[in-house]
Structure 1
Amino acid sequence: MLKTLLGVSRINFLTLTLACVLLALAFSLSQGAAWQWLDLVLVLMIALPAHISVNAFNEYFDFRSGLDFLTTKTPFSGGSGTLVTHPQQARLALFLAWGCLGIVMVAGLILISRYGWPLLWIGLPGVLIICTYTQYINRSPLVCLVAPGIGFGMLMTLGSIWVLQQSLPAGAWLLAVIVSLLVSNLLLLNQFPDVDADRQVGRRHYPILLGLGPCAIIFSVLHLVALGLLVLGVSLAWLPQHTLVALLSAGVLFKLLPGGIRQHSDSQALTPYLGLNVIFIHLYLLLLSAGLFWAAW
């Protein structure tokens, strides 16, 4: 049972959530906020179960629709395959999804009791994305592109900053946009190997609608914009100069972007670039956090 729970939660992908919360903490400290253990714990009690919930719902509904039997799995796309090998555990996956969503709602209500009802502006859209991502959002190309970024950037990262420092300066919004671009791009490239399978079960996203070639260009542009926004933020004094250390991650793009464009239609050849994309996004976020901690201390 434990193996099933770990599989459908896609535990190895949860590092992205930790990176987003770390970024929020680093920014808040760089702005002079005091360290609040209780708030940080509550933020993690929302962020991690939220990510697990959307993963478990995705595993359950992709198993029920038959998509998991059609995809060519890679370490970064096509689902975990847990329910394909253990179909009798489908109800357990659904229980995990709803249980984690319940934890999110309880922890969210505690935060609302501490800081007021305006936090619902973040909580309610987050719950909506979790519940609708697999069955509905994946059928609308534009919403499918932006929803993952909104979830991790505009809701998780921005919401964490709001809780940890009770204000949202311009730098917080800029970081949320950067995270949004990175995470949407993560899901965009991961859709490339699944295009044929996704089309068979009625999904509609931009790799299906526009084709892989144009989407590889969109992918490259979004990553470059995410880097450019950091330079803009420092030039406007929205972010401290120390965060420019995150530009060191751009070295990964010299291999990632040409490779993604060149190998976009070959799933096997694209797989190393899916991994490189994960490395770039994590490295960028961790270096941003390091720069903010540097500025704080």
Structure 2
Amino acid sequence: MTTTLQADSGWRVWWQLTRPHTLTASFAPVFLGTMIAIRNTQIDWGLFTAMLIASLLIQAATNMFNEYYDFARGLDNEKSVGIGGAIVRNGVKPKTVLGLAFLLYGIAGILGIYICMQTSWWLLVVGGIAMMVGYLYTGGPYPIAYTPFGELFSGLFMGFLIVIIAFYIQTGTVTIDAILLSIPSTLLVAAIMMSNNIRDIVGDAASGRKTLAILAGRPAAVNILLSFFVLSYAWIAGLVLFGMITPWALLVFISIIKPVKIIRIFKRYTEPLKVMPAMKDTGITNTLFAFLLAIGLLIGHLI
């Protein structure tokens, strides 16, 4: 049976434009950073909500910039897998997509100003750089997504930095514990980008991109993805072994079945549509890992 790509209608057009399976890359680090902070302070849920919404808006806008610039460069068509499809399948005007992306950035910026007013104005600089990276990921003359550094930038800015900011706005400081517990988030957000690049390796190579997956080759790229998963789980096990965090953090291993399934799919299939579930499950892995780690830390704190 052949899977076909169909046009969406109504609200689904705009929902798919956000690429919802990638939004966990924003939610998970905010939640994790906040749960790390709960061990040190009383949580300001207003700041948490503002940070969460701003992060989701930035991620959605980044996806829309991706949609716009890939279309503008002739890289997307109605058969492209993994895109929102608003432009090439649903007839939305490219300028509408670009304008919506900037609108979401504007709303995120307003929320950022509120957060700065409650915490530190230095975050305005940090947040501004993060937003600039989000735009330059596919925008500008030298898009980051077309280079071997996509996983590095996404991991650092959408994984590590969001955890640290979420922790900082609650505590007013950055601790060694927060930094160490941000490492798996960094790796798993990078894994989302790597799985995306493995899925698109043929089309990206044809369009002239030089992603890490292309340069390494597909078998090596799958092994790199595997290493991201292995290091994430081993990192938590190591922190528990050395007594730096509660053994309850080992709850993350409940989610390990997902990475096993992901690697099996990538090793078995190469067609973009057939590996799409693995790409989505990578995002789910990021969410489950962060949620289970956060719950484990919370239980260890309460007992």
Q: Tell me the TM-score normalized by structure 2.
A: 0.87
Query: Hey, what does 1:55 align to over in structure 2?
Result: 63
Query: Hey, what does 1:107 align to over in structure 2?
Result: 111
Give the alignment of 1:120-159 within 5 angstroms: 120=124, 122-135=126-139, 136-141=143-148, 143-159=149-165
CA distance in 2, matches of 1:204, 1:48: 28
Q: Tell me the TM-score normalized by structure 1.
A: 0.88
**Relative to structure 1, is the Cα distance of residues 60 and 67 closer, same or farther in structure 2, using a 3 angstrom cutoff?**
same
Query: Hey, what does 2:259 align to over in structure 1?
Result: 253
Query: Is the 8 Å Cα contact of residues 32 and 296 (structure 1) preserved in structure 2?
Result: no
CA distance in 2, matches of 1:202, 1:7: 26
Q: CA deviation at 1:273?
A: 2.9
CA distance in 2, matches of 1:88, 1:266: 27
Runs (4+) off by over 6 Å:
none
Query: Is the 8 Å Cα contact of residues 244 and 291 (structure 1) preserved in structure 2?
Result: yes
Q: CA deviation at 1:55?
A: 1.0
Query: Is the 8 Å Cα contact of residues 4 and 89 (structure 1) preserved in structure 2?
Result: no
State the superposition RMSD in angstroms.
2.2
CA distance in 2, matches of 1:39, 1:272: 34
Query: Is the 8 Å Cα contact of residues 50 and 130 (structure 1) preserved in structure 2?
Result: yes
Query: Hey, what does 1:282 align to over in structure 2?
Result: 287
Give aligned-pair identity as a percent.
Answer: 22
Give the alignment of 1:159-170 within 5 angstroms: 159-170=165-176
Alignment partner of 2:93: what SS? helix
Q: CA deviation at 1:264?
A: 5.6
Which whole-Å deviations, capped at 9, do the CAs of 1:169-204 have from their partners, x for residues lacking one? 222112222111001111101212312222233321
Question: What residue identity is the alignment partner of 2:14?
Answer: L
Alignment partner of 1:68: what SS? coil
Query: Is the 8 Å Cα contact of residues 192 and 264 (structure 1) preserved in structure 2?
Result: no
Number of equivalent positions: 290
**Relative to structure 1, is the Cα distance of residues 64 and 87 closer, same or farther in structure 2, using a 3 angstrom cutoff?**
farther
Question: What residue identity is the alignment partner of 2:52?
Answer: L
Determine which structure has the larger helix proportion and give its number: 1
2:46 aligned residue (20, 30, 38): 38
Q: CA deviation at 1:284?
A: 1.4
- Ranges in structure 1 where 5+ consecutive residues have no aligned partner: none
Question: What residue identity is the alignment partner of 1:54?
Answer: T
CA distance in 2, matches of 1:94, 1:16: 21
CA distance in 2, matches of 1:71, 1:199: 17
